[in-house]
Amino acid sequence: MKSNSFRTLLIGVSIGIVLMGSFSMGRWSVKRDGSGGQIQQNQTILDEESVVTKVVEAATPSVVTVSISKTQVINSFPFGFDIFGDFFNIPKQNPETQLIEQDIGTGFIISQDGLIVTNKHVVFDTEAKYKVIIGKEEEVEVQNIYRDPVNDLAILKINKTGLTPVKLGDSDKLKVGQTVIAIGTALGEFRSTVTKGVISGLGRGIVASSGLLGSEKLDNVIQTDAAINPGNSGGPLFDSAGQVIGVNVAVSQAAQSIGFALPINIVKESIDIFNSTGQFERPYLGVTYAMITKESALLNEVPAGVYVQGIVAGSPAQKAGIKVGDIIFEIDGKNIVKENIVLATHVSKKKIGESVNLKIWRDKKEMEVKVVLEKKD
């Protein structure tokens, strides 16, 4: 039995910040005729409006909808099991199943031969089947899924050539206030939805959470007031030149007009690794952490830096002797706070087998720790 109802995955964040908006004003040109008497007013087409429509027209063929297909067992018993059947040993009947088919996210084409980028959380279910919808109606089955173990990214492979890939920009050159455009399948229902806004902030650190996948810390993300809805996850965030500068990943549940995107330069690194190895091979440290600001450090008489909240079992960090409660304030000779270093980004740029040298604060003493980085399974 088919059902078009499916619980769309939403990663939500709870933060308190001031919202930033954007607006545009029309321009009028005033021209006098030869006699000098008649005034002719002509409203020119807004430059910003023209830019947005051009970006949308050029980019839409490269944006796809990601759809899921999965058969689920329907539980018709109120307590989750058959009380009477189990008690009286009544033979069990074949369970009733339901086929779920639903648009759940967005992706964008990065190669002519069928590579598509989306969020890892969009395609997290390894038992489900996925397909992408190109244009209005063309459906293509996803053949392979490669999930990045470090970032919320996945690359989908479909058997189709002659596709139109997007152009990738440079997220290191972004500025607050720039116009950005998001395209995606809003609410898992409205395909090719376009929203516009500005970059409201850069280098944000957020904790994104989902009822299905738990929590994940995302560093150095882009904040925007362009409307990002459930179903937009994995979709592109364009600049006014039509280049992808981010991958839409999260939306705040606590306020309106607060969305987040992964910088495209992180994605480009992942794509380069994938193209050279055929899979995502990334080194990792194996800690969860929170930042200690200079103000908090002064109040508590500790160094500013990364406060270790958790250690992944069997990780390089655990093997090197790092403990919960340690404060990492220096990595490879660089002060983390003074030089604005994002720990996860610094580690991701290393190669598997390379090491990082950490200075940590433990029990009111400085310590040096060398950590050999390993591949994350």
Question: Can you give the pLDDT at residue 114?
Answer: 92
Contacts of 64 (CB under 8 A, 6+ apart): 106, 107, 108, 109, 116, 132, 133, 134
CA distances from residue 73 to 94, 97, 124, 137 in whole angstroms, order as listed:
10, 4, 19, 29
State residue 133's pLDDT score: 94
**28-32/243-252 β-pairing:** unpaired
Which residues make up the CATH 2.40.10.10 domain(s) of the chain?
61-158, 166-277
Instruction: Spot the catalytic one: 121, 148, 219, 348.
Output: 121
How much is the pLDDT for 2? 43
Centre a 10 Å sphere on the Cβ of residue 286 and count the other Cβ atoms it contains.
Answer: 21
**How far is residue 100's CA from residue 128's CA, in Å, rounded to a whole number?**
10
Residue 33 is among the residues annotated as catalytic for this protein: no
Residues of the chain with CATH 2.30.42.10: 283-375
Q: Which of 103, 152, 239, 326 is catalytic?
A: 152
CATH of 166-277, one of 3.40.50.11540, 1.10.3720.10, 2.40.10.10, 2.10.109.10: 2.40.10.10
Q: Which of 22, 62, 200, 233 is catalytic?
A: 233
pLDDT at 93: 61
Give the per-residue pLDDT at 18: 29
Specify the CATH class of 283-375 in words. mainly beta
Closest by CA to 315, choosing from 150, 94, 166, 85, is: 150
Q: List the pLDDT tens digit at each of the 377 positions of the chain.
A: 444 433 333 333 333 332 222 223 233 333 444 444 444 444 444 566 788 899 999 999 999 999 999 887 665 555 454 544 554 555 556 667 778 889 999 999 999 999 999 999 899 888 899 999 998 889 999 998 988 877 888 999 999 999 999 999 999 999 999 999 999 998 888 888 999 999 998 888 776 655 455 556 677 889 998 988 888 889 999 999 999 999 998 776 665 678 889 999 988 888 887 877 676 677 889 898 888 888 888 898 999 999 999 998 999 999 999 999 999 999 999 999 988 888 887 887 788 889 999 999 999 999 999 999 988 76
Q: Can 346 be counted among the known catalytic residues? A: no
Q: What is the pLDDT of residue 132?
A: 95
Instruction: Let me know if 152 is a catalytic residue.
Output: yes
Residues 306 and 328: beta-carbon distance below 8 Å: yes
Write down the pLDDT at residue 62.
94
How distant, in Å, are the alpha carbons of 72, 137, 231 from that of 128? 10, 21, 17
Q: Do the beta carbons of residue 233 and residue 240 sit within 8 Å?
A: no
Classify domain 61-158 at the CATH class level. mainly beta
Predicted pLDDT at 170: 94
Separation CA 117–CA 185 (nearest Å): 15
Q: What does the DSSP 8-state code read for residue 123? A: G
